[in-house]
């Protein structure tokens, strides 16, 4: 792959929850158009990394560059406006909003977002349930809604935190197909995953995370040769 | 004259009207409290003082600047609301990361300061404010003063407009979402701290509007707010903190219940709301329309 400056460049990122030091110098980067995963066991700091990139974890040091902008000191709402869409692990569907209101909630940050029609083509279920209360949807539908609402905004980098967790295989396949489709559209995706089988079907590269730091980087094509090394890390 | 369950209709409808008037104020004030609590998680104890400042604002505009009631009705909520915005920026915004209790203590202290300042300047005997719509009409079963009818209509219209804005518009969807999960709404690019500031200003503006409406009915008095706000807090507890329609319906409903109690068992009229509050707290601690949080 031709060398070019990364879209997201994270260097020596440290983060704290109160007094507890969770990230110990995460360093990794993503080029435009790539799908990259952070792989690791529970509690190694993958979600905290995403929350730090979004500015939700406020006590953080190091450098997080998005394009030409250093975001480490910016408040959360300004970071989102640069063009980063966040899909949290708990999905964050609002109970007091119906499906359409949930879908339209995040304001457009770029003009290049998907139209409602395109979103409904990707996720037909959301059209059928447009008037339902957001949290009345099934887990899979809520996950689709959580992804769909950041596609509308025109965000160019998507942070997806365990989008397949707890979902039926057929829905996991659907989400995999959607991610590959988004990659074709030129979107850049950072994926947190514990499901290695799913990760290999969508990603270009993988970063292995342990104890709040990146311990290894593996190209998706090299995965077969490194299977043992990987499984030792993940404990599968 | 016929009688209804041993009560002359004049007395019954007269008290019903008084109940509706009180209910109109309960609804406006508890609505402001509910909006502020929903968004900021602050129990605004200064609400009564801000209502009082609304009434004084109308009186001062008329007395010092010659601005009549109709101008004050528009200007006073804006001025007092802007004062609220200043308070939120200067003081309240620094307390959000602490327990609820600190916001309550701060606003309680501010209420005491405001009331003290006005009492020092204007005494506590009360100042008169001329009724802008004198007269009334005889409906056959009762006499309806025009101004009281106006207060009820304004209150209903403002309450329903607020409900519509919060439950049915795009801006309202931001508010509802930020009430549920402010962190995530902010991570979508919405400036939640600014929304909180504006919400506080809006809630305070509602209190000031109620104060302007009250000026021609009650005498303009530094402690008019603290007398009323105790009852309004009971209304909020009964309706459920944070529920918009709940606080409107409970406000009017309890005003009417209070009015009816004056007819049928006057001895209980001052306590009936608190008795209802105690019962509701035992059966539904989150309030009639509230959800546990």
Is 0.95 exceeded by the ipTM?
A: no
Structural domain total, chain A: 1
What residues does A11 pair with on adjacent strands? A63
Cα distances (Å, whole numbers) of residue B7 to B67, B162, B265: 44, 37, 11
| Whole-number pLDDT of residue B4 | 60
Measured between CA atoms, how close is A39 to chain B, in angstroms? 23
What's CA A153's distance to the chain center, in Å?
A: 15
| Whole-number pLDDT of residue B70 | 96
Mean pLDDT of A61-89: 95
3-state secondary structure of B143: strand
The residues of B whose Cβ lies within 8 A of any Cβ of A are 170, 173-174, 176-177, 179-181, 183-192
pLDDT single digits (tens) B207-255? 999 999 999 998 899 999 988 999 999 999 998 876 888 899 999 999 9
| Whole-number pLDDT of residue B3 | 60
Q: Identify all chain A residues contacting B170, using CB atoms and an 8 Å cutoff.
A: 104
Q: Between A77, A79, A86, which is nearest B190 by CB? A: A77
Is pLDDT larger for residue A226 or for residue B283? B283
Average pLDDT, chain B: 92
Percentage of chain B beyond pLDDT 70 is 97
Radius of gyration of chain A (CA): 17
Q: How many CA atoms lie within 13 A of B86 on its CB side?
A: 7
Burial code of B83-94, b = ≥16 C-beta within 10 A, e = fewer?
A: bbbebbeeebee
Backbone phi, then psi, for A35, in 5-degree steps?
-115, 115
Here the CATH number for the domain that contains residue A100 is 3.40.50.300
The answer to the question of residue B38 being in a domain is yes
Q: In terms of residue numbers, what domain contains A229? A: 33-47+80-234
The answer to the question of residue B3 being in a domain is no
| Whole-number pLDDT of residue A93 | 95
| Whole-number pLDDT of residue B197 | 97
CA–CA gap between residue A161 and residue B143 (Å, rounded): 66
Structural domain total, chain B: 1
Token pair of A208, please?
């292995």
The answer to the question of residue B141 being in a domain is no
| Whole-number pLDDT of residue B202 | 97
The answer to the question of residue A41 being in a domain is yes
For residue B227, count other CB atoms closer than 10 A to its CB.
12
Whether A198 and A176 have beta carbons less than 8 Å apart is answered as: yes
Q: Identify all chain A residues contacting B168, using CB atoms and an 8 Å cutoff.
A: none
The answer to the question of residue B293 being in a domain is no
The answer to the question of residue A103 being in a domain is yes
**Total H helices, total E strands in chain A:** 9, 10
The answer to the question of residue B14 being in a domain is yes
pLDDT single digits (tens) A112-145? 889 999 999 999 989 888 888 988 999 999 999 9
The answer to the question of residue B131 being in a domain is no
pLDDT single digits (tens) B83-139? 999 999 999 999 988 888 999 999 999 999 999 999 999 998 889 999 999 998 888
Q: Identify all chain B residues contacting A94, using CB atoms and an 8 Å cutoff.
A: 176-177, 180-181
CA–CA gap between residue A185 and residue A205 (Å, rounded): 18
The strand pair at A20-30 and A8-17 is best described as antiparallel
Measured between CA atoms, how close is B127 to chain A, in angstroms? 45
The answer to the question of residue A25 being in a domain is no
Residue carrying structure tokens 């993958």: A46
- A80·B177 Cβ contact <8 A: no
| Whole-number pLDDT of residue B38 | 87
Q: Identify all chain A residues contacting B190, using CB atoms and an 8 Å cutoff.
A: 77, 106-107
Whether A24 has a pLDDT exceeding 90, the answer reads yes
Q: What band does B263 get if pLDDT is binned at 50, 70 and 90? A: confident
Token pair of A112, please?
């290049």
| Whole-number pLDDT of residue B1 | 47
Q: Between A75, A79, A97, which is nearest B176 by CB? A: A97
Whether B187 has a pLDDT exceeding 80, the answer reads yes
> Any idea what the Cα angle at residue B23 is, between residues B154 and B105, rounded to 5°?
100
Measured between CA atoms, how close is B2 to chain A, in angstroms? 50
- What residues of chain A, 105 to 124, have a C-beta less than 8 Å from chain B? 105-107, 109
CA–CA gap between residue B159 and residue B167 (Å, rounded): 12
Whether A54 has a pLDDT exceeding 60, the answer reads yes
The answer to the question of residue A89 being in a domain is yes
The answer to the question of residue A23 being in a domain is no
* H-assigned helices in chain B: 9-40, 47-60, 69-90, 100-122, 146-168, 170-180, 182-187, 192-214, 224-239, 244-264, 272-283
Whether B293 has a pLDDT exceeding 70, the answer reads no
Q: What band does B5 get if pLDDT is binned at 50, 70 and 90? A: low
Q: In terms of residue numbers, what domain contains B187? A: 9-120+146-283
Average pLDDT, chain A: 91
CA–CA gap between residue B71 and residue B179 (Å, rounded): 33
Here the CATH number for the domain that contains residue B60 is 1.10.3470
Whether A141 and A124 have beta carbons less than 8 Å apart is answered as: no
Q: Identify all chain B residues contacting A88, using CB atoms and an 8 Å cutoff.
A: 184, 187
Query: How big, in percent rounded to 5, are the helix, strand and coil portions of chain A?
Result: 35, 30, 35
Q: By CA distance, what is A158's nearest residue in B?
A: B188
| Whole-number pLDDT of residue B266 | 86
- B184·A92 Cβ contact <8 A: yes
Percentage of chain B beyond pLDDT 90 is 73
CA–CA gap between residue A138 and residue A34 (Å, rounded): 30
The answer to the question of residue A15 being in a domain is no
The answer to the question of residue B264 being in a domain is yes
Whether B258 and B273 have beta carbons less than 8 Å apart is answered as: yes
For chain B, the residue count is 293
The answer to the question of residue B4 being in a domain is no
What residues does A205 pair with on adjacent strands? A36, A219
The answer to the question of residue A59 being in a domain is no
Whether B135 and B146 have beta carbons less than 8 Å apart is answered as: yes
């Amino acid at each position: 792959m031709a060398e070019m400056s990364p879209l997201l460049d994270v260097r020596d990122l440290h983060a704290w929850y109160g007094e507890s030091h969770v990230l110990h110098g995460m360093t990794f980067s993503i080029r435009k158009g790539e799908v990259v995963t952070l792989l690791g066991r529970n509690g190694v700091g993958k979600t905290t990394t995403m929350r730090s990139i979004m500015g939700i974890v406020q006590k953080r040091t190091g450098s997080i560059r998005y394009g030409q902008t250093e975001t480490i000191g910016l408040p959360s709402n300004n970071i989102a406006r640069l063009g980063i869409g966040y899909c949290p692990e708990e999905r964050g569907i609002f109970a007091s909003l119906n499906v359409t209101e949930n879908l339209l909630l995040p304001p457009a940050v770029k003009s290049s977002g998907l139209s409602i029609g395109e979103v409904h083509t990707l996720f037909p279920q959301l059209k059928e349930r447009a008037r339902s209360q957001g949290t009345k949807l099934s887990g899979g539908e809520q996950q689709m809604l959580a992804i769909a609402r950041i596609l509308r905004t025109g965000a160019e980098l998507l942070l997806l935190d365990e989008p397949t967790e707890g979902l039926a295989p057929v829905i996991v396949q659907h989400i995999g197909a959607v991610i590959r489709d988004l990659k074709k559209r030129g979107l850049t995706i950072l994926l947190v995953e514990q499901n290695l089988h799913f990760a290999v079907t969508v990603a270009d590269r993988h970063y292995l995370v342990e104890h709040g730091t990146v311990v290894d980087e593996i190209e998706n094509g090299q995965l077969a040769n490194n299977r043992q090394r990987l499984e030792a890390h993940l404990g599968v | 004259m016929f009688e209804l369950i041993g009560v002359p209709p004049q007395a019954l409808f007269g008290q019903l009207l008084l109940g509706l008037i009180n209910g109109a104020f309960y609804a406006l004030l508890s609505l402001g409290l509910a909006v502020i609590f929903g968004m900021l998680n602050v129990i605004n104890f200064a609400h009564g003082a801000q209502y009082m400042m609304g009434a004084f604002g109308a009186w001062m505009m008329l007395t010092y600047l010659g601005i009549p009631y109709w101008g004050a009705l528009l200007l006073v909520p804006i001025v007092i609301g802007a004062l609220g915005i200043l308070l939120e920026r200067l003081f309240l915004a620094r307390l959000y990361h602490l327990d609820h209790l600190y916001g309550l203590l701060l606003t309680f202290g501010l209420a005491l300061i405001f009331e003290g300042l006005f009492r020092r300047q204007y005494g506590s005997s009360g100042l008169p404010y001329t009724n802008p719509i004198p007269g009334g009409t005889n409906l056959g079963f009762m006499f309806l003063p025009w101004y009281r009818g106006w207060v009820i209509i304004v209150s209903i219209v403002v309450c329903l407009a607020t409900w519509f804005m919060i439950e049915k518009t795009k801006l309202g969807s931001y508010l509802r979402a930020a009430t549920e999960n402010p962190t995530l709404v902010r991570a979508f690019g919405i400036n939640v701290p600014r929304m909180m500031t504006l919400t506080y200003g809006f809630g305070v503006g509602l209190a000031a509007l109620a104060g302007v409406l009250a000026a021609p009915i009650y005498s303009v008095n530094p402690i008019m707010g603290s007398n009323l706000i105790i009852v309004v807090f009971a209304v909020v507890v009964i309706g459920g903190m944070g529920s918009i329609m709940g606080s409107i319906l409970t406000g009017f409903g309890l005003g009417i219940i209070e009015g009816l109690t004056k007819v049928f068992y006057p001895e209980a009229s001052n306590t009936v709301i608190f008795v209802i509050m105690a019962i509701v707290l035992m059966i539904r601690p989150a309030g009639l329309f509230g959800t546990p949080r």
